[in-house]
Amino acid sequence: MSATIAPGSKGKVLLAYSGGLDTSCILVWLIEQGFEVLAYMANVGQEEDFEAAREKALKVGASKVFIEDLRRELVEELVIPTIQANAVYETVYLLGTSVARPVIARSQVAIAKREGCTHVSHGCTGKGNDQVRFELAYYALDPKLQVIAPWRIPEFYQRFPGRNALLAYAAEKGVPVSQTPSKPWSTDENLFHISYEAGILEDPNVTPPTDMWKLTVDPEDAPNTPERITITFKAGKPVRVTNEGDGTDVTDPLDLFLYLNTVARRNGVGRIDIVENRFIGIKSRGCYETPGGTILRAAHIDLEGLVLDREVRAYRDEHITPVFGKIMYNGLYFSPEGDLITKMVPLTQTNVNGSVRVKLYKGGLSMEGRWSETETLYDMEQSSMDVQGDFEPTDSEGFIKIQSIRLKKWGAKFQQN
């Protein structure tokens, strides 16, 4: 018979707590291992009953519970720079899960330091990206912190090989369990997006059921009348959204983003279904809803066509956009390269000032116009086919001759053969 370990004898651990079955069982298990457990929840815009989760954590043994509202810093520090960079992963994924991890980890580390915790812990699986994202952030922000990752500890994952084992443990330990039937997939939600993976979605050829999509109306059921909004940017940051139909006008960064979510959701905008390459080397099928972010990125790209210098845009697209996306996806925001790339993004956005008119209709969006009062590089007369302006057509002849020098030499080889 094993000796009982005194609670708290191994020090304090701050657990990233969701209120769900997994992290509730982890909380009790950590206490069994001799830790004093403090629970931490980050409000990043997910639809969650935080007070109910607080009460649950205290009931199952947490000595303290911290609930931090990180929504504003998520939008201002992570979401907007991601939009400025036009960043995506593998050309389609808008990094919805990835962008929230730095602010969540940073707050967890700050609380752990303040409370004298020797350890931090999380409920991430041993096959996913989030374990990497959280732990790389922990170690960068406080190299002395120790990490407990139960789903990588054989003693834990062999004891709890599936949901039924966790349910039995919860019943044994008096952990309250939701009576809501478990969905045949897992989700992660913040104000930028929601993700769906695992379960029935592991077969990449299974069509997601209609009731899976939580945020957006089915595009087929969206209103039959288009909705039109105007988004204004300053230095690449969205500073105003105006609804042309009802006159709604929003300027606060957080409120602006939440409003874009609202209009995108009711018009069915922002769904994707992809197979991606996880950082650890496993392919994964994921379905995502990124309503407001989809609108913002498309409008931002459109405005750049009007105001951004061609070579600056090309350099950013080749050297900054893909690197930013990879850094965010791989959990390297707190790194030398992460620090460098986040400082480079604003330098490309100085002249991205102006407004874009956007039409939303049945899952799609299109740009109906754009203008800038200060930064436009577009010259209507110079571009016109009806007005010569200050462009001399004969100058094109010399341009073509110079561009064709190497092509003539390349083509001549085929003539010789």
Which residues are marked as active site?
A: 22, 101, 130, 186
* Sequence-distant (≥ 6) Cβ neighbours of residue 415 within 8 angstroms: none
Is residue 61 within 8 Å of residue 29, measured between CB atoms?
no
Q: Give the count of beta carbons closer than 10 Å to the beta carbon of residue 40.
A: 25
Is residue 329 within 8 Å of residue 98, measured between CB atoms?
yes
**Residue 86 token pair:** 């036009």
**Residue 387 token pair:** 């007005």
Q: Give the count of beta carbons closer than 10 Å to the beta carbon of residue 69.
A: 13
- Indicate the helix (H) or strand (E) that contains 61: none
Helix-, strand-, coil-residue percentages of the chain, each rounded to 5? 45, 20, 35
DSSP 233: E
CA angle 276-279-281, nearest 5°?
80
- Bridging pattern class, strands 227-234 and 354-361: antiparallel
Comparing C-alpha atoms, which of 319, 175, 157, 191 is closest to residue 259? Answer: 191
- Bridging pattern class, strands 249-250 and 237-243: antiparallel
* Sequence-distant (≥ 6) Cβ neighbours of residue 296 within 8 angstroms: 83, 231, 238, 257, 260
Q: Which single residue is written with the structure tokens 């939009």? A: 83
> Which amino acid type is present at position 101?
R
**Residue 35 token pair:** 């830790």
Cα–chain-centroid distance for residue 150?
Answer: 25
Q: Give the count of beta carbons closer than 10 Å to the beta carbon of residue 313.
A: 18
> Which amino acid type is present at position 208?
P
| Residues in the chain, total | 417
